[in-house]
Amino acid sequence: MAFALARTRALLGLTAPLVSVEVHLSGGLPRTSLVGLPAAAVRESTDRVRAALVASDFRYPDGRVVINLGPADLPKEGGRFDLPIALGILAASGQLPAERLAEVEVVGELSLNGMVQPVRGAISCAVAARESARALILPAGNAQEAAFARAVDLFPVSHLAEARGHLLDAPAIEPFSTPIPESRPREAPDLADVRGQETAKRALEVAAAGGHHVLMVGPPGTGKTMLASRLPGLLPPMSESEALETMAIYSARRLERDPAAWRERPFRAPHHTTSAVGLAGGGVPPRPGEISLANHGLLFLDELGEFGRAILDVLREPLESGRVTIVRAACQAEFPARFQLVAAMNPCPCGYLGDGTTRCRCLPEAIRRYQARVSGPLIDRFDLHLPMVREPPEEAAGHAPADGTTAGRARGTDAPGRTSAAVRARVADACERQLARGGKLNRDLGPAELARHCPLDADAQSLLRAATRRLVLSERAVQRVLRVARTIADLDGGDPPRTHQVAEALAYRGLERFHLG
């Protein structure tokens, strides 16, 4: 009898729990048994491993081979266990020192010719190996992304023979080392290219500075999508911990992030035909959805009224908690989902309600049904409600109004204060003030923190009380108004909010002209 132990990592959500691969060889008729709650892809690994060992000129042991993946109650899926199983068989059959194999962690999928293929969740495995103070042997195709975990010895291999040779020091592989690139700003459309819509531009600056959720409602052609596409260029880069968490989410979905822009915030814009599972995540095993892929970034939902109401309502809990939990019969996974929601919709089925013309022919009942697709509790979770109106032709063209005044002059490339670079600098300063004051953005302030960080004078309190009665604001809406006022004050220098800043925050709550809110 012979025994060998290899250590590897499963993938459950974004965590990588340790799995012990125990290989036991004994006499008897040739047979290979794999136990330990393996999924179908894992059960098939015995055939892949046998073919890979034979193709690599290694001996597959005669007799009975029993492979146990422990702990037995942890679900295992995918081909990530192929390489540790193959090395465990080599160690148990004396073709590899068993003590060397027990010192490292191994993950990788095998082709029939012995080539090692990339796996999902390599960053999570690297982080877990770092915390366990063990080196990690992994596919060469995963080395670049795993290197972002830092401070862990990575040994990338392209073939089963390379992994065995490293454990035999014949030859030993040098630890993978690559400099982490400085993240460069993404190439995004410039805010200065948008003519007119000065109120909406100001609102986007406030939203970017505090991470606030934005709902834009208006007829077609008023610039809703154009403005939303420019919001990513206003956001400051992620911190290193935020960027690592986001890369782990993408790795769990086999999606790649540009290493040169690894700290730039993600921007996701799913089509309105997406399902609730596609939005929130799910499947067997559970995988992250669009709201998790937008973690620490932007989720843009265009044509919000075309999404199903049940689909949109899955956003409500993640918007409050910043996490989404996927529960299945065999397992449970939790994914981060701290995203900034930006949505755009038409006010009615034809889209022309409130545009100042007579083009809208929608009946009141059709308008009511259309707007009811977005529930009141979801609308209440938007911090800024922007009614988008069509600009006069002279404004959209960048000319002064016909009366010769400068009011409402479109500020395009001739207004350097509203370029994306200038706004991004002001947003970065405001975010630094928030993080220095409370360690979080204003969007995430709780009631007690709001009372401490957002004191109002008597005039501002009086204005807020009157607006609460007139607009019939919920307690949640009042707190969101205070968070927005706090952000406006941070953009203006950081003093406590004054009456005019509270008034501006309240102005972003009105969608009465479209009968919303």
CB-based burial label for 353 (10 Å; 0-12, 13-18, 19+): buried
Partners of residue 385 on adjacent β-strands: 215
CB 310 within 8 A of CB 319: no
**Quick one: pLDDT at residue 502?**
95
**Quick one: pLDDT at residue 402?**
41
Residue 235 DSSP code: S
> What one-character-per-residue DSSP string does 61-118 give?
PSSEEEEEEESTTS-B-SSTTHHHHHHHHHHHTTSS-HHHHTTEEE--EE-TTSBEEP
CB 209 within 8 A of CB 426: yes
Number of H helices and E strands in the chain, helices first, is 22, 18
- The number of residues making up the chain comes to 517
Q: What span, in angstroms and rounded, lies between the C-alpha atoms of 387 and 385? A: 7
H runs (alpha helix) in 220-267: 224-230, 240-252
Is the pTM for the entire model greater than 0.85?
yes
Residue 454 has a CB neighbour count (10 Å cut-off) of 20
Bridge pairing between strands 267-268 and 18-26 = unpaired
Domains and CATH numbers, the chain: 2-167 (3.30.230.10), 191-514 (3.40.50.300)
CA 501-204-435 angle, 5° bins? 70
**Quick one: pLDDT at residue 511?**
61
**Quick one: pLDDT at residue 517?**
47
Q: Which tokens belong to 73?
A: 């109650």
CB 320 within 8 A of CB 298: no
Q: What span, in angstroms and rounded, lies between the C-alpha atoms of 31 and 475? A: 67
Q: What is the distance of C-alpha 1 from the center of its chain? A: 49
Q: What are the two backbone dihedrals, phi and then psi, of residue 301, each rounded to the nearest 5 degrees?
A: -110, 100
Q: What span, in angstroms and rounded, lies between the C-alpha atoms of 117 and 263? A: 27
Instruction: Average pLDDT across each block of 10 residues of the chain; the chain has 517 residues. List them in order.
Output: 92 94 94 93 94 96 95 92 97 94 95 97 94 95 90 93 93 85 77 88 96 94 92 92 93 87 93 94 89 96 93 93 87 92 94 83 91 90 90 57 38 58 94 94 92 93 93 89 96 92 91 53
Residue 185, CB half-sphere, CA atoms under 13 Å: how many? 15
Residue 97 falls in which region: left (phi positive, over 0), alpha (psi -120 to 50) or beta: beta
